[in-house]
């Protein structure tokens, strides 16, 4: 009987094709996670009561705690209410993907013949264990934060964070009162250009942090299962359940931080600081 192998790969494995488009196990899991969240949201909405039941009560406690945590970052309940829907949605999406990725232990999948013999491909693999998913989430978070900044403080102020034309203009308007502006203004303009590089760094940081931790968890569980098939991997499985929560929380909190920074009017803040110094 030919031996069937199963190796953890960096790339998501295709499980079937639809009109020439490859459906990978990571994409299948992400779609399955979205369907679960939609069904759960509809169910909770239909069961919503003034006197909450057990499930509604649990989610109310979670939502209230998460909103309070969001307040600690934004320092504004009004701003938290605007950012919270997307942050909590991303949290549950990542969490569901992280946890669904732990289910293939049961052996649900297909067997395909490859160059090295028969290979087992699981139906479910955490979408966050695929770098394409985490990059897409990171790009969404960074672009979303900048769009939120445009709607919050305006296009011109958001643009000036990166291409600070206002700083260069101050060379001509303030050079008589403040001669040092001829040195400070170009530095301020250059810092804005560095901010553009920082946006790309955010994408890399968010995506590879999430992907690296989830993928490392998959490798750990596979390695432990290969060494000792029973009992020993169980503590590591619970550890990965906890890691899934932590990684989802970290990504969501960083999203809240980026949205908060984008919605902050730095010019108004500096103006207020100057008024305080003058009053003193």
Can you give the pLDDT of all 280 residues of the chain as single tens digits?
455 555 666 677 777 777 778 888 888 889 889 999 999 999 988 888 888 788 888 888 989 999 999 999 999 889 999 999 999 999 999 999 988 877 754 456 566 655 555 666 777 788 888 888 999 999 999 999 999 999 988 888 888 888 777 777 777 777 777 777 777 777 777 877 888 888 999 999 999 999 998 888 877 877 776 677 677 777 878 888 898 899 999 999 999 999 999 988 765 555 444 444 334 4
Tokens of 2: 């030919």
* Model pLDDT, residue 85: 92
* Model pLDDT, residue 108: 63
Q: What are phi and psi of 118, to 5 degrees?
A: -75, 135
The reply to whether 279 falls in a domain is: no
DSSP 3-state percent helix, strand, coil across the chain (nearest 5): 75, 10, 20
The reply to whether 280 falls in a domain is: no
Structural domain boundaries, residue 161: 4-274
Distance of alpha carbon 266 from alpha carbon 280, whole angstroms: 21
Contact 160, 192 (CB under 8 A): yes
Tokens of 4: 């069937």
* Model pLDDT, residue 1: 47
* Model pLDDT, residue 277: 35
The reply to whether 226 falls in a domain is: yes
CA distances from 126 to 101, 148, 191, 210, 263 (A): 4, 29, 38, 11, 32
The reply to whether 250 falls in a domain is: yes
Any bridge partners for residue 24, and if so which? 14
Number of structural domains (the chain) is 1
* Model pLDDT, residue 168: 72
Cα of 93 vs its chain's centroid, Å: 9
* Model pLDDT, residue 234: 77
The reply to whether 176 falls in a domain is: yes
Contact 26, 12 (CB under 8 A): yes
**DSSP state at residue 106:** G
* Model pLDDT, residue 274: 43
* Model pLDDT, residue 208: 92
Mention every residue, 6+ apart, whose C-beta is less than 8 A from residue 160.
Answer: 166, 192
Contact 4, 111 (CB under 8 A): yes
Q: What are phi and psi of 48, to 5 degrees?
A: -65, 125
């Amino acid at each position: 009987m030919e031996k069937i192998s199963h190796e953890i790969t960096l790339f998501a494995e295709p499980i079937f094709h639809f009109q020439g488009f490859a459906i990978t196990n990571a994409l299948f899991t992400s779609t399955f996670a979205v369907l679960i969240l939609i069904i759960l949201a509809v169910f909770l909405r239909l069961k919503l009561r003034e006197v909450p039941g057990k499930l509604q009560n649990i989610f109310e406690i979670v939502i209230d705690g998460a909103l309070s945590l969001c307040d600690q970052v934004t320092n504004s309940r009004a701003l938290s209410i605007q950012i919270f829907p997307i942050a909590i949605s991303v949290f549950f999406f990542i969490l569901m993907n992280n946890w669904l990725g732990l289910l293939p232990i049961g052996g649900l999948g297909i067997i395909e013949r490859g160059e090295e013999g028969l290979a087992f491909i699981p139906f479910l693999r955490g979408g966050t264990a695929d770098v394409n998913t985490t990059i897409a989430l990171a790009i969404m978070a960074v672009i979303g934060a900048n769009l939120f900044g445009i709607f919050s403080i305006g296009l011109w102020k958001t643009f000036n964070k990166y291409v600070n034309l206002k700083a260069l203009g101050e060379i001509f308007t303030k050079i008589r009162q403040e001669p040092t502006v001829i040195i400070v203004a170009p530095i301020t303009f250059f810092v804005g250009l560095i901010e553009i590089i920082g946006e790309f760094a955010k994408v890399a940081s968010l995506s590879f942090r999430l992907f690296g931790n989830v993928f490392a968890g998959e490798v750990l569980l596979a390695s432990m299962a290969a060494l000792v098939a029973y009992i020993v991997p169980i503590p590591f499985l619970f550890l990965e359940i906890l890691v899934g929560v932590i990684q989802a929380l970290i990504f969501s909190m960083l999203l809240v931080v980026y949205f908060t920074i984008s919605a902050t009017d730095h010019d108004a803040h500096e103006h207020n600081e100057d008024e305080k110094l003058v009053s003193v």
